[in-house]
Structure 1
Amino acid sequence: LKDHTVPNGEPNVSFSHAQSLSASNSTRTSSANTISGDKHFVCSYCSKRFRCFSQLTIHQRSHTGEKPYRCTLCGKRYFQKGHLYTHQRTHTGEKPYRCSLCGKGFIQKCTLDKHLRSHTGEKPYTCTKCGKGFTTKFNLNKHLHMRKHSGEKPYVCTVCGKRFAQKTYLTTHERTHSGERPYSCMECGKSFSQKSSLNVHLRSHTGEKPYSCSHCGKSYAFKIATHNHTSTPEEKRFECVFCRRIFNKLTYLKAHMRTHSGEKPFVCTVCGKRFAQKTYLRIHQRTHSGERPYSCMECGKSFAQKSSLNVHLRSHTGEKPYSCSECGKSYAPVNETCYTESSVH
């Protein structure tokens, strides 16, 4: 009997059996903690507490950097198995969460929930400074980081000196100088300086028209097209006292009034030239900085003004909107028509 007992009188249990008992007790303890609401599992890195050991294990990977779940298609790794499953849908194209109102599909439920607010108009996130509401927390944070209230612009372009409220805006702007286009279309290979431009371009392949008129249901690929469609003459209610021209916004009327008063409050800091509107000053400043923010999606050629890009696009589309009043011949640029009428006829 002596050989089968330890000095303190306790039974000599095998190590593997002891592990089993310990695991069983741990499971019972974990279960009891979950039921009681206690958080007895403490992170050794930050002291955050958890109800379940599995939650603690997942959390600790944020400290260790461990990503045990790997995508077999692209090699990208994740902390949680659920994140891997969500990512894999970007490869398979699966969109299990569908909007019951417009039929649009989404990879994640949280994205569907955000989308539904575009139908309901719900804006649960409010700015404490100005009271403006937002559909997502991301948009609220973006509003705050834009420093709308302080007017602060701490990020400066080293090439032209232009200032920005956010670093991401500076990074995007710097591409107008470097010519960098990091976002490429997988369908046709066209490259873009901004991800948003790529997303808009992709609609030319998918045929997606996410913006629709609430009155007639007509759909559009671009938000501005929907706005132009829904605007009515009744909405244009600001009238110029000099020429009776009507504007739908007070800011547009104020800018227009300077054409009558001759006021030019916006001054170029480089050459001293003055302008009636801030937009004209910005366009002028590009002659000094060399900035060309408007790029042709067809050939990549860049322009300082959007109007110049629109004229250039006709060289690809073949559009000739201007015609000679004498002979009816059509032309792409208006100045070419004027030249023909004055010299030929």
Structure 2
Amino acid sequence: MVSVSKLQLLSKLSDGTVEDFKPTVSDEGEVAYPETEDLLAHQDGTSIEALDALAGRGFLHKEYTTKVYICPSCQADGLQYITACPFCEDTHTIRTSFFEHEQCGFTAQSEDFEIGDHTETQQCPDCEKEIDSSNITIMQKQLCKGCGESFDHPSHRLWCLDCFYLSEPEKATEQTLYEYELTEKGENWHEAQVGTRELLADEFASRGFDVTLDAALQNDEDGDELYKVHIHATDELLNQRIVADIHSAVDSEKIKHISTVGKLFHAQPLLLATDESISDDVLQIANQHGVTMLWVDQSGSIRRYESIDDEYRPAGNIIDRLSSAVGFTSTKGD
């Protein structure tokens, strides 16, 4: 399976809560996927990282929508296009009328020629010759209000609304944004994984445990930090607690995650692997972290997943405690 948060993203699409995940860009240039923000835990990364991870496994289809640019100074997204003076980089530039005296080539703003409404001719401020509309050329140019320089073409810049850094476009990081929708593969995979989760939850419930699916656990010492697990099962009478995750592909990070949650909340950590091809190396890592591995046989029974090598078997006291409290049969690798 995937993390609890990513599974919840797939569930939102599967049950029709949302049709797809669309990006929004605020007036300040901040990119967000509103339908995902409240679900993701810190270990899932950003919304884009989580959605791309699901798309990478073929569970989501991504459709191009637009691009944004990342500030090279503070890493904020959604830079705003702006023009600037090529001489001093001031962004206060305006497009205004300039007059050029054709005989001497003097060029200045129209008001510098002091052409009044009631004057048919006037002098050029540079050569002091009389001029009229027949010997001047009117043109549009950019004028910098910062340094006073005029120019034909401003510099193109991207402006960060967070730190106010002006960046050359080629120095900003381009980020492509997509819409994400559930694929048929994602739908089928989600259905199978949710079914396995419910199977394990039913096992706990049948043995008197109170079961919570997609549990978000909070440790008082960590403040607002939430730790999400696929299943949290408790038996207050026996003072027993279990945290369990279900994954199709198991690696050391998934083992360490459920082990950490188990230690923080004084719970027995379990990990159910839906892919039977679990190596002894993975089982050894699980054993080292006190995590009991489970699997589902063809009859739908949940069993402990043990290594053929006795050295890598979970410690006896863990097995004994689980056998009495949960009642899983142990045959895998025996």
Normalised by the length of structure 2, the TM-score is 0.17
Greater RCO (CA < 8 Å, at least 6 residues apart): 2
Query: Which structure shows the bigger proportion of residues in helix conformation?
Result: 1
Alignment TM-score, normalising by the size of structure 1 = 0.17
Q: Which has the higher strand share?
A: 2
